[in-house]
Structures are given as C-alpha cells and as structure tokens.
C-alpha cells in the first residue's frame, strides 16, 4: 500500500474543490438541505476562495494519495489565518477529509498524525481543531491523541447553524 502526502498546487485547485465538496456531502448531506449545502460551497469552496487560501503564507493544504490517487485532504492554519484567535501561539487543524471509498485504510489517522507533526514542528504552544458536536467518532479519535474541549462555536451551513466543539492539545 503506497501512501503519499503532498502540498496542493494551484493546478490542482479544481480537484481540491471537487474532493472538498464530495467529502463534505458524504459527511454532512444527511443533516443539511441541498440549498444549505450549495450556499456553504459557494462561500467556502469557491475556486477564488480556495486559491486565496492556497496563497496564504500562514496556511497549507495537502492531498493524501493512496496508490497514486488523491483520497482526501488536510488544511492547517497558524497566525492570522486561523478561523478563531482564541489561543496564543496556536496551530489549527481546520479541515481533514477522506473520500468514503478510501475510508478504512488508515488514511485519516495517517493524515491526522501528519498534521500533528506539522503542529509540533511549528513551534506553537497549542494545536486545536473544531469538530461537530454530533461527530462522536471523530471526538473519540481526537481524545485518544490528548485533545480536550475548551470552547464551542457556531458553524454556518447555509442558513443553518451547527455547534462545533473546539478541542485543544498542548504542544510543549
């Protein structure tokens, strides 16, 4: 089994957009209307938004490849690129998604551990992330790695607001 992690390049933005939309639908479509999803995609996953994120010097986006095929992606932020400024000297794991057809291969765990390696190498004091309050499977995984809840925020999907738990882990 060959697994590779590589930075997303501008040329691959349409593929990133496709995978982002597909994985979000696979994960959350059951709880959102088509209109809510489309509103979210037009704001979060528009090509111009993704290009801007890719060009941000305080953010990185990576694909995970399984047998040479893009199977998911990771987005991390630090400094002012973070979606929240709640912790001093923090590293955010913002997006981590694996396409359903590739789940069960350990790719999510591998990508999460890669994100943690980046966090430790960043010199930041904290790693943090947001997770939907009803995503118990992800919460259990993050708890195994020592993440604890420290706050909450509302996450808009169209006109619907979901509650995310914010979890943190000390890096030093």
Nearby residues of 18 by Cβ (< 8 Å), 6 or more positions away: none
**Residue range 77-134, pLDDT digits in tens:** 999 999 999 999 999 999 999 999 999 999 999 999 999 999 999 999 999 999 999 9
**Residue range 19-29, pLDDT digits in tens:** 999 999 999 99
Is pLDDT at 32 greater than 90 in this prediction? yes
Instruction: Report whether 167 contacts 133 (CB < 8 A).
Output: no
Instruction: Classify the C-alpha dihedral 146-166-5-1 as positive or negative.
Output: positive
Q: What is the pTM of this model?
A: 0.96
Reduced to 3 states, what is the DSSP secondary structure of residue 62? Answer: strand
Is pLDDT at 137 greater than 90 in this prediction? no
Domains and CATH numbers, the chain: 3-170 (3.40.630.30)
How much is the mean pLDDT over the chain?
A: 97
Kindly state the percentage of the chain with pLDDT values over 90.
99
Kindly state the percentage of the chain with pLDDT values over 70.
100
pLDDT class of 1 with cuts at 50, 70, 90: confident
> pLDDT at position 76, please?
98
86: number of CA atoms within 13 Å, CB side? 15
- Alpha-carbon distance of 40 to 124, in angstroms, equals 30
> pLDDT at position 85, please?
96
Is pLDDT at 3 greater than 90 in this prediction? yes
- Alpha-carbon distance of 142 to 138, in angstroms, equals 6
Average pLDDT over residues 140-149: 96
Average pLDDT over residues 30-35: 96
Is pLDDT at 155 greater than 90 in this prediction? yes
């Amino acid at each position: 089994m060959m697994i590779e992690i590589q930075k997303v390049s501008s040329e691959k933005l349409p593929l990133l957009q496709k995978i982002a939309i597909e994985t979000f639908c696979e994960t959350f479509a059951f709880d959102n209307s088509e209109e809510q999803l489309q509103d979210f995609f037009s704001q979060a996953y528009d090509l111009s938004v993704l290009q801007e994120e890719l060009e941000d010097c305080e953010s990185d986006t990576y694909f995970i490849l399984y047998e040479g095929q893009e199977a998911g992606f990771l987005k991390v932020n630090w400094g002012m690129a973070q979606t929240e400024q709640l912790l001093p000297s923090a590293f955010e794991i913002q997006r981590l998604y694996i396409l359903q057809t590739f789940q069960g291969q350990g790719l999510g765990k591998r990508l999460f551990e890669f994100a943690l390696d980046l966090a430790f190498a960043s010199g930041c004091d904290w790693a943090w992330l947001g997770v939907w309050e009803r995503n118990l499977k992800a919460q259990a995984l993050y708890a195994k790695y020592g993440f604890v809840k420290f706050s909450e925020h509302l996450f808009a999907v169209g006109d619907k607001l979901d509650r995310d738990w914010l979890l943190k882990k000390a890096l030093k």
